């Protein structure tokens, strides 16, 4: 059984704040994506992922999250991150060194 990575979800109007915890990787990313898609389909116009308790974030998951950000943006939903820790920042820098980039909103404190 995989450990849960979605710790909590707080809804304030059309904004959703999702606290993630632990390791985000090939095995756990589907839970994150499922939660994000569910919130968007239920009417959230802004979704903010709180990454302060994430201990590992792999490149695969960062790339998929970036693709999901663009997908949601086309539907009018903003997805962003807050409280990025050094682990996530290192993944973003690794993407840039490899010639790829994450959606700009994934490197800001709050979508907007």
Minimum mean pLDDT range among 11-15, 20-24, 39-43, 86-90: 86-90
Instruction: Write down all domains in the chain, each with its CATH number in brackets.
Output: 6-107 (3.30.750.24)
Sign of the Cα torsion 53, 7, 16, 102 reads positive
pTM for this predicted structure: 0.81
Span 31-36, average pLDDT: 95
CB–CB of 74/102 below 8 Å?
Answer: no
Kindly give the pairing relationship between strand 46-57 and strand 6-12: unpaired
Average pLDDT over residues 78-94: 73
């Amino acid at each position: 059984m995989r450990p849960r990575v979605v710790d909590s979800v707080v809804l304030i109007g059309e904004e959703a704040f999702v606290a993630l915890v632990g390791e985000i990787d090939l095995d756990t990313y589907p839970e994150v994506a499922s939660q994000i898609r569910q919130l968007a389909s239920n009417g959230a116009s802004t979704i903010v992922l709180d990454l302060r308790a994430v201990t590992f974030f792999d490149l695969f998951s960062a790339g998929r999250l970036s693709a999901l950000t663009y997908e949601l943006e086309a539907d009018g939903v903003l997805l962003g991150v807050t409280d990025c820790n050094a682990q996530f920042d290192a993944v973003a820098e690794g993407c840039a060194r490899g010639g790829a980039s994450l959606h700009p909103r994934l490197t800001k404190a709050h979508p907007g």
